[in-house]
Amino acid sequence: MLKSYIKPESLSPAEVQLVLEFINGAQTVEEIADTIEIPGEPDVGLRIAQRLLNRREALGGEFTGIRQVADTPYVGPERFSEIAAVLTGRSIEKVAETGGASPSVLRELRELREMVSSLQSAMGVKCRISMRLARSDLYIGQSAIILVEVRDTRRNRPQANLALTLATSWGTLETHVGFEKRHGSIVTAQTDINGKAKIKLTGPTYEHLTDAQQLALDSALRTLDPAAPTPYDEAPGLDDLVSQYQAKGSVALRQAMDIYFRTRSEALASSINPPSPNNAWPWIDALVTAYLHEGEQQSRWGNGVESTAVLKVRVKDWIVPWYQAYIKRLNESCTINEDFNRFKDQVTDKGLLLDNMVNRLNSYASGEAGLVGASAAKNVARRQVNHFLSTGMEGLPFTTRQLLFPALGLAAKNVSTTQMSSLAVMGHVRKDINRNVETKFAQLGDVQGFVKAVEDLKAREFSQKYQDFVTKADAFDEKWAAADNKLTKFDSSYSKFDADYTDFKRDYNDFKNKL
């Protein structure tokens, strides 16, 4: 245990201010525990830090005197001395309970400390940077507060008014230096009187959120359970988030969620292998690096680094499962397919039937607000229309099906949450149909002229081929007549030959008989 203690009344006004500013400014138990923990004293940690926060809350949220800190239950003289030593940089000696250390041991200990300090100076490491998150288990869109602290390596004292450069691999960093707000993927911060700086990390967006939008989004996402292992386990919370988005008074929240959705909407719509929205949370990792530059090299070269630290920040991506929950809710309550089947049974005129169906699509879409509402409504409308086209077209005349099939597909594609009149929607749909038809026949030009040209070509081609046929037939007739004449002459010669051969055979037989 300690041989001598640091008493509250022995602290100077400046040292009292350092202790009170730290304990009053700490936001979490971990922030206090990480700072006042002394190597070899593991019991000065979360338990003592929690008692300090409880005492501060009981005092109305602030310690107003150093004696209040010392009188905190279970802190005691020893723990107060350790807290004061760490925060003020005072040196305290420890001795064993069994009688204390000899002067020679204490002298060797001091010499060893001086040797370590000399080695640190020789290595050029004067300050150490530490970084940690004020809160873990964050969802994308929530502000990740990064607490940075710089202390000297010799006496472990906080280093004030030092410039730090911080860079992130994902998202945007934000900090305040005086009245100036700095934000970007790389920012320069400055340590305060306690050697600390506070940095905020937010997700990347196409446009910057206003303070009201960020506050509304932070409040809404706090309703989600940060420890939920999968989106399936957080299904009620995601569904409640849909309700918050749809509420008429949630303008700032809807705008904030639309900004994040717009940043991701193209990837969500065109994903080849979309992630399963219920099996596991999609995680996004950011690596934040802090650099403490050497004074002279910072001004001369801009690249001299005395100390550095890195922090990995992980956030859950709630946008994909939430969007699927939105679509699921709309699809379960949508009656477009049932209404289309009812129209089909009640209306026989195909033009009036199409108008009624387009009016139904328009009235459905007009009930949803925001970019996410428009996208989800269009998605559900396409599903309902495709279901009707695949199952509800039976029994309709062929001409009616011929009209409905392309028209309803175009109507679902052009569904909008804006207050567009039914006549305007119908005109837009028919214009699209006409445009598609014109595109198909654009290369034909004048159809009647094309048909006449085809007929003329056929006539010319037939006449030419017929003339060739007649010419060839005449030539065949001439050749056939010549062949027939030659055949007649052959028949006459053959008859004469046959008569001569008969006389020869008779004479030959007579000759044989006479022998």
Closest-CA residue to 170 (of 268, 289, 262)? 289
Mean pLDDT of 1-27: 80
Half-sphere exposure of 184 (CA within 13 A, CB side): 8
The pLDDT of residue 260 is 92
Residue 50, pLDDT above cutoff 90? no
The pLDDT of residue 309 is 92
Q: Does residue 409 sit in the same domain as residue 451? A: no
Mean pLDDT of 291-319: 75
Give the residue carrying structure tokens 């650099």: 291
Q: Which of 50, 77, 96 is the last residue of a domain?
A: 96
Q: Does residue 428 sit in the same domain as residue 453? A: no
Structural domain boundaries enclosing 258: 130-320
Task: Assess if residue 328 is contained within a domain.
Answer: no
Q: Give, for 310, the enclosing helix (H) or strand (E).
A: strand 305-316
Exposed / middle / buried, residue 53 (Cβ in 10 Å: 0-12, 13-18, 19+): middle
Q: Does residue 166 sit in the same domain as residue 263? A: yes
Q: Does residue 316 sit in the same domain as residue 349? A: no
Give the global pTM.
Answer: 0.56
The pLDDT of residue 2 is 43
Give 99's pLDDT tier (boundaries 50, 70, 90).
Answer: very low
Mean pLDDT of 23-43: 71
Task: Assess if residue 116 is contained within a domain.
Answer: no
Q: Does residue 15 sit in the same domain as residue 83? A: yes
Mean per-residue pLDDT of the chain: 79
Please report, rounded to a whole number, the percentage of residues in the chain having pLDDT higher than 70.
76
Give 126's pLDDT tier (boundaries 50, 70, 90).
Answer: confident
Q: Which of 415, 443, 471 is the last residue of a domain?
A: 443
The pLDDT of residue 272 is 57
∠ at Cα 251 (250, 256), nearest 5°? 100
Q: Does residue 208 sit in the same domain as residue 316? A: yes
Could you tell me the CATH number of the domain that includes residue 173? 2.60.40.10
Q: Does residue 314 sit in the same domain as residue 360? A: no
pLDDT tens digit sequence for 281-303: 888 899 999 998 765 444 444 56
How far from chain centre, in Å, is Cα 336? 30
More confident position, 222 or 27: 222
The pLDDT of residue 299 is 41
- The answer to whether 53 and 7 have CB atoms below 8 angstroms apart is no
- The answer to whether 253 and 217 have CB atoms below 8 angstroms apart is yes
CA distance linking residue 169 with residue 222, whole number of Å: 25
Task: Assess if residue 326 is contained within a domain.
Answer: no
What tokens were used for 83?
A: 């807290």
Q: Does residue 456 sit in the same domain as residue 438? A: no
Q: Does residue 344 sit in the same domain as residue 314? A: no
Q: Does residue 359 sit in the same domain as residue 451? A: no
Q: Does residue 439 sit in the same domain as residue 461? A: no
Q: How far is CA 515 from CA 357, 505, 506, 511, in A?
A: 120, 16, 15, 7
Q: Which of 266, 287, 320 is the last residue of a domain?
A: 320
Give 95's pLDDT tier (boundaries 50, 70, 90).
Answer: very low
Tell me which of 39-48, 130-139, 239-248, 322-331 is least confident: 39-48
pLDDT tens digit sequence for 149-178: 999 877 788 999 899 999 999 999 999 888
CB atoms within 10 A of CB 314: 14
Task: Assess if residue 360 is contained within a domain.
Answer: yes
Q: How far is CA 363 from CA 359, 375, 385, in A?
A: 6, 15, 15
Tell me which of 13-27, 250-264, 484-498 is least confident: 484-498
Number of domains in the chain: 4
Please report, rounded to a whole number, the percentage of residues in the chain having pLDDT higher than 90.
23
Q: Does residue 193 sit in the same domain as residue 236? A: yes
pLDDT tens digit sequence for 261-275: 988 776 666 565 655
Give 424's pLDDT tier (boundaries 50, 70, 90).
Answer: very low
Task: Assess if residue 110 is contained within a domain.
Answer: no
Question: What are the residues whose beta carbons fall under 8 Å from the beta carbon of 434, sequence distance 6 or more?
Answer: none
Task: Assess if residue 125 is contained within a domain.
Answer: no
Task: Assess if residue 121 is contained within a domain.
Answer: no
pLDDT tens digit sequence for 447-505: 556 556 666 666 676 667 767 776 777 777 777 777 777 777 777 777 778 777 787 87
Task: Assess if residue 164 is contained within a domain.
Answer: yes
Could you tell me the CATH number of the domain that includes residue 58? 1.10.150.280
The pLDDT of residue 420 is 43
Pairing of strands 144-152, 138-139: unpaired
CA distance linking residue 501 with residue 231, whole number of Å: 116
